[in-house]
Amino acid sequence: MPEARLQITLPESIWIGQLSRQYPDGRFRILAALSNDDAGVGLAEIHSMDLDALLADMRASEDIMDLDILNDPGESALVQFETEQPLLLFAARDSGVPLEMPVELSDGTLTWEVTAPSDRLSELGTQLRALGLSFTIDYIQQEVADDQLLTDAQEQIIETAITEGYYDTPRTCSLTELADSVDRAKSTVSETLHRAESKIITEFVGDPEESEDIDVAMIQ
């Protein structure tokens, strides 16, 4: 499944865009968020050298309906806030793209890492533009699975085949000799090699149809 990283420029007309520019050393780290039709609630970690003033201005914003400070702030504060302008939540909701946390914002620019099917990434771009949010794309790439590609048995036989010269040109190890080296039946080794090679080739080549869809143009 494709993954992308977007850099979203928040306009001055949005409270958090204005506030993050007013305090350019500040860093907003959104840890959790949810929305309904009219508003959104967020949990954020805020860092700034002028934190008291930043929090006071945040509380005074007309778009902040509620603000609770959940710790004893020093240079950082953990806050829960409610706002009438959760534009990122609206874009995520209307495009069907999960909002992966944390999301970081500083000096008017929000970094959002997204994992979603190609059609939903395209719809996300449409929703962001509809909300008046400009963005650039750092990258779009196929997500690399964390799962182990080969079974332990397949990995053992492939590694032994490489070591013994089964894949050399000319081949210096026959299938029979390879089977003897791993102490398995020739038919078992042949089937295991076939399955392992199929997985390796498929992983290397990928899904051509899906790869064709992973294009920066799809969300620009």
**What pLDDT is stored for residue 96 in this prediction?**
92
**pLDDT surpasses 80 at 143:** no
| Alpha-carbon distances of 31 from 42, 43, 118, rounded to whole Å | 8, 5, 25
What pLDDT, in 10s, does the model give residues 164-175? Answer: 999 998 899 999
Report the predicted TM-score, pTM, of the whole model to 2 decimal places.
0.64
pLDDT digits (tens, 9 = 90+) for 28-85: 999 999 988 789 999 999 999 999 999 999 999 999 999 999 998 888 999 999 998 8
Give the pLDDT mean for 84-98: 90
In the predicted model, what is the mean pLDDT of the chain? 87
Do 186 and 157 form a contact (C-beta atoms < 8 A)? no
Please report how many Cα atoms fall inside a 13 Å half-sphere around the Cα of residue 183, on the Cβ side. 0
Query: pLDDT at residue 206 above 60?
Result: no
Instruction: Classify residue 23 by burial, with Cβ atoms within 10 Å: 0-12, 13-18, 19+.
Output: buried
The domain limits of the chain are 2-142, 152-205
Q: Give the pLDDT band (50/70/90) at residue 198.
A: confident
Per-residue pLDDT at 204 exceeds 70: no
Q: How confident is the model at residue 199 (pLDDT cuts 50, 70, 90)?
A: confident
The pLDDT tens digits of the residues spanning 101-137 come to 899 999 999 999 998 888 898 999 999 999 999 999 9
